[in-house]
Homo-oligomer: A and B are copies of this chain.
Amino acid sequence: MEAINVANITKRYGDIYALEHVDLNFEAGKIYGLLGRNGAGKSTLLKAMTNRIFPDDGVIYLNDQPVMENDEVLHQMYLMSEEDMYPKSMKVKDVFHWTDEFYGCFNMEKAKELAKKFELNINKKVKDLSTGYQSIYKLIIALSLNVPYVFLDEPVLGLDANHREMFYKLLLETYMEKQQTIVIATHLIEEIANLIEEIIILKNGKVIVNQPIEDILAAGYSVSGLAKDIDTYCEGKHVLGYDVLGGLKIAYIMGEVDKTSLKDTMEINPLNLQKLFVELTKKEGEI
């Protein structure tokens, strides 16, 4: 079932196209990974989807209703992002209170329980929180709101490894329970690879990948071995890129595994999402 329909969205800032003719569908009850380099348009897209900015062209629909200035629709969505929706001098517990007032579907008990788990003091003012806790209090809101659409823009910025792992587990639990539509934009790609079902990659404001994660990972493979063997093996193949470690070389290849010209000293492995992303979005001059 199609839930959100992004129809031919374009957004310019001066001469720069932040988004250019973007068409996307987000189905209900799925978890999406929204990936892209810094500046690729991820945050712009999420802000347009939640009516925080207006596209220059195109329309975004939630269940066939345009999201633009549509309160009923906006009450069904929560966007967690770097921006604060309330004054930074407000205490965390008051942010919880006003979020509840606005949405009317905030589970305060769960929020307080999560604050304990993360050791967040909700009597603190937002501005006095560290980088990690600036993220954590918003994550708690995202996990405690009973809205069907949750968008997370860099949810784990500044979190230590334990808190990141705990968040991924809690997000999955919440998803199992509520079957929400979740979109995660993050630079920590490998960490969400097991969490997401669908993957969207933006590059310079355009969609370059939009498919189930299994499909894209199954579309290629990596092969490692002695540099000269790898060079020979790769001839005529669709090579995304290489890594070199001393005399060894790893090639990232799209297409089916070709076993005919494989040597015993060479090793085939599945593609890794982060590596695939890096190769697909590399710019000229980057090593």
Residues of A within 8 A of B (CB): 36-38, 82, 116-117, 119, 130-132, 157-166, 169-170, 187-190, 274, 277-278, 281-283, 285-287
Contacts and interface: CB of A to CB of B under 8 A. Distances in A.
Contacts of A189: 161
A241 to B, nearest CB: 11
Nearest to A279: B162
Given A117-B287, A161-B274, 4 more contacts: A117-B286, A161-B189, A162-B281, A162-B286
A161 B277 contact: yes
B116 A282 contact: no
B38 A132 contact: yes
A165 B117 contact: no
A132 B278 CA distance: 16
Contact of A159 (B117, B131, B187): B187
Contacts of A159: 38, 187
Contacts of A169: 287
Given A116-B285, A286-B166, A278 B161 contact: yes
Closest 8 CB pairs of A and B: A38-B160, A37-B160, A38-B132, A160-B187, A162-B278, A161-B278, A161-B274, A161-B189
A139 B116 CA distance: 36
A187 B130 CA distance: 14
Contacts of A282: 162
